[in-house]
Structure 1
Amino acid sequence: MISEDWSSDCRRDVPAMARLAEAGGLELRIFNRDGRKILGTRRPDPAVYPDGNHDLMLEFLNAKNGGEWASLPVAVFYSNDFQELHRYIEYAAIYHKDLIRGHQQAARAGETETQTKERGQREFVAMQASPFFDVWASAGVDEVLSALYEKLTVKR
């Protein structure tokens, strides 16, 4: 896994993935993405951030909406002979985070820019404290288990 403590997605998914690894007898390795300095760009550059694991991160960029991002967390599952079975990046597909965050961050009628930012942050914190946050962690595990089962049992 590639993770960072400051990431809410990592705080949601890493414990669930760790329990999955433990229950399945899987070896789990967790690498930090950033070094002393938090990545300030969408695409990491190991020359600019030499103390981070950006060379590793470049292998697992999140591609969406025509762009690439160094999203967190990244969980990659391999067979015993190191064939990639599945990669999980940022959040479960059922959790439409970009849509939800976009709605939270969108200005409402009559709001100032500051009010919009403050309300959006309050809504995000409230969402993290809600039962949905745990549901999305479970959805991540469900997605991984389903993908692994399919990859290991369906011959193509």
Structure 2
Amino acid sequence: MVLTGYTRCVQGDLWPHQIIDQAIAASGDPALLAAHCLAAVDPALTERVVEGDVLVVAGTMNAGPGHEMAVIALQSVGFAAVICAAVAPEVATIASIYGLPILALPEASTLLTEARLVRLDLERGSLTCADTTWFYTPLERATLDAVRRTQLLTRMRRVVEDEGYAE
């Protein structure tokens, strides 16, 4: 399975409360989650995100209260994957269940810059940007299946919205 998207970068470590405020997370409303995602880090970031983009975190994706809703908020905005220097195991586990691949690639997380087109081959374990490729352990079958389901549901939602079947 291959994902392509443009990078959206944040510097430093990222905590769940920086991804989504707990009061907003309590609503569970995907539109509200998307509107306020990463507002504590960069209030204009969500305006630049296009469905399928890849979040690049130059630090660690940390666990803490609300890390499950943080993963959902990232997906609500439209992120298809996250590249970071390191990831807390609890965050990686929740993200894999929800179909959001979070890849710990320290070198890539510091070298990738804003709005670069990247290609993630999740089955073969490679991230390519221009003429540079980084390798990682390919995702497990269960995670790949979750990513496939998530991508399919995202496409289906887009068709419903585009075709006006929401009524």
TM-score (norm 2): 0.31
Report which of the two has the higher share of strand.
Answer: 2
Return the structure number with greater relative CO, CA threshold 8 A, min gap 6.
2
Report which of the two has the higher share of helix.
Answer: 1
